[in-house]
Structure 1
Amino acid sequence: MKILFVDDDPLIVELFEMDLKYHYADCVISTATNGIEAVDLCMKVNFDLIFTDGKMPKMDGIELINRLNELQYGADIVLVTGYHKLVDEINSEKMGITKILYKPIKFEELHACVDAVKK
């Protein structure tokens, strides 16, 4: 299984990358710091699961999800956000968002998303 974690905070990226690599050694874990990097990676790798922050510079998570929908990309997508208002403004089902996690994220929530896709 291939997982992409996208967030503009390098510390969050590092923490969750280390956790995922530790708990899911059989998975390929990639990271990006904005939506533009994420789209570039998605053009090269067929990810099964993408975690994306909602608010990021250059291309935010919503723009990333819209771009992946345009490309008819088949990954499960988890939106990670600290902005409840952002969630109120989107139709997650229509956008193809599998799950929404609110910051601060607990590792158990992250693992539950991975486990659901691995089944």
Structure 2
Amino acid sequence: MTHIEIVEMDGQLLEGIGSFCLRSKKKSGSYKGKNKWLHQQFEKGLRYVQLVQDHQQVGFIEYTDAEYSSRVVHAEGYIMIHCLWVSAVGKGYGTQLLQKCIDDAKQRGKKESRC
């Protein structure tokens, strides 16, 4: 039986599990820089959520309040997704991660997009 778990990262978990990007090598300067930046952004409310299936990461989403986004956007009251990655399409991984983001935004009273 497949077990899927949503793991909300924080500074402590980041040190143990690490951030994830297929292009990153844990000893590289860019990987270390990304983790340093994540630590700083956690203090501003950044959310970094991993989707884990049978103890292996199969996706992640990184989002924050638009006011604190590293992107130049003017969207006060909204959530800004910085990155979404899944290991395979058609398995519902992206849907689960996006739903987590939407649920979090609703719980925090964020505005809804009218796309």
TM-score by length of 1: 0.29
Q: Which has the larger radius of gyration?
A: 2
Q: Which has the higher contact order (CA 8 A, sep 6+)?
A: 1
Whichever structure has more helix as a proportion of its residues is 1
